Structure 1
């Protein structure tokens, strides 16, 4: 266990940040899941910019890796284009 006052504070801050990051990562995963479950191309096209913005923001804040965001956006675009 940490003995320094600053390291105890750092542990407390890390817990809060981890909880915050977990919430936003989970929200992103649910949005991607929702988009992949869609069968209507028009609805998926309307939802895609919102999901794309979310992915870019999370990548910018280092909650997810930038390449993961790029891969997800690419695969979602392919999925939307494939819809009839």
Structure 2
């Protein structure tokens, strides 16, 4: 167990950050699944910008890799275009 005050604080902070990252990642994955299951082009087009924004935020905060974010956005845009 950590002995320094700063180490104890870092342990507490790491846990809260981990839970926040996990929540944001899971929420984004659910939004992606919802967008992929969408069959109506209008609804998909309105949902796409919010999902892309969520993916960009995950990438910016290093929750997912930048290349993975680019691949996800590309595939989602291609799918919406083919609807």
Say whether the fold is shared (TM-score over 0.5).
yes
Using the size of structure 1 for normalisation, the TM-score is 0.92
Cα distance, 1:14 vs structure 2: 0.1
1:42 deviation in Å? 1.3
Q: How does 1:61-80 map to 2 (within 5 A)?
A: 61-80=61-80
**Deviation digits for residues 37-84 of structure 1, max 9, x if unmatched?**
10111110111011111111121121221111111001101111221x
User: What is the CA–CA distance in structure 1 between the aligned matches of 2:35 and 2:15, rounded to whole Å?
Assistant: 30
Q: Which runs of 5+ in 1 are unaligned?
A: none
Q: Note the residue ranges of structure 2 that are not aligned, 5 or more in a row.
A: none
Q: Which runs of 4+ in 1 moved over 2 A?
A: none
Question: TM-score under structure 2 normalisation?
Answer: 0.93
CA distance in 2, matches of 1:50, 1:6: 38
1:48: which partner in 2?
48
Paired residues in the alignment total: 83
Determine the structure 2 residue equivalent to 1:12.
Answer: 12
Two-structure CA RMSD over aligned residues (Å): 1.0
